[in-house]
Amino acid sequence: MNKLDNRRFISKLDASNMLGLISTFDEQCKCAYKIGKTFNASKPENQINNILLAGLGGSAIGADIIRVYLQNELKVPMVVWRNYRLPDFVGKDTLLFCVSYSGNTEETLSSFRDGLKKEAFIITVGSGGKLKELSLKNGLRHIEIPSGFPPRQAVGYISIIILAVLAEMGFIEDKKSEIEELYTSLSEVRDREIGIEVPRSKNIAKTLAGELFGKYCVVYGTGDSTESVSIRWRSQFAENSKSLSSSHIFPEMGHNEISGWEFPRAMLKNFKVVMLRDRNDYIGTQKRIEVSKSIIKKSGVEVFEFERRENSLLARLFSLILIGDFVSFYLAILNGIDPTPVKRIDYLKAQVAKN
Burial readout 202-238 (b: 16 or more C-beta within 10 A, e: otherwise)? ebbbbbbbbbbeebbbbbbbbebbbbbbbbbbbbbbb
C-alpha distances in Å from residue 171, one per residue of 115, 133, 177:
21, 28, 17
Give the three-state DSSP class for 262: coil
* Choice among 107, 168, 178, 239 that is catalytic: 239
Beta-bridge partners for 52: 79, 96
Strands (E), the chain: 50-54, 78-81, 94-99, 121-126, 141-144, 216-222, 245-250, 271-277, 302-307
Question: Please, which residues have CB within 8 angstroms of residue 51's CB and are 6 or more apart in sequence?
Answer: 74, 76, 77, 78, 79, 94, 95, 96, 97, 166, 171
Query: Residue length, the chain?
Result: 355
Catalytic option among 34, 43, 176, 349: 349
> From the candidates 75, 255, 343, 354, which is the catalytic residue?
255
Residue 114 CA to residue 112 CA, distance in Å, equals: 5
* Residue 50 three-state SS: strand
354 is catalytic: no
Alpha-carbon distance of 168 to 171, in angstroms, equals 8
DSSP 127: S
How many other C-beta atoms can be found within 10 angstroms of the C-beta atom of residue 283?
A: 7
State the DSSP string of 275-303: EEE-TTS-HHHHHHHHHHHHHHHHTT-EE
Distance of CA 335 to the CA centre of its chain: 22
Residue 180 known to be catalytic: no
Annotated active-site residue 349? The verdict is yes
The residues annotated with a catalytic role in the active site are: 239, 255, 349
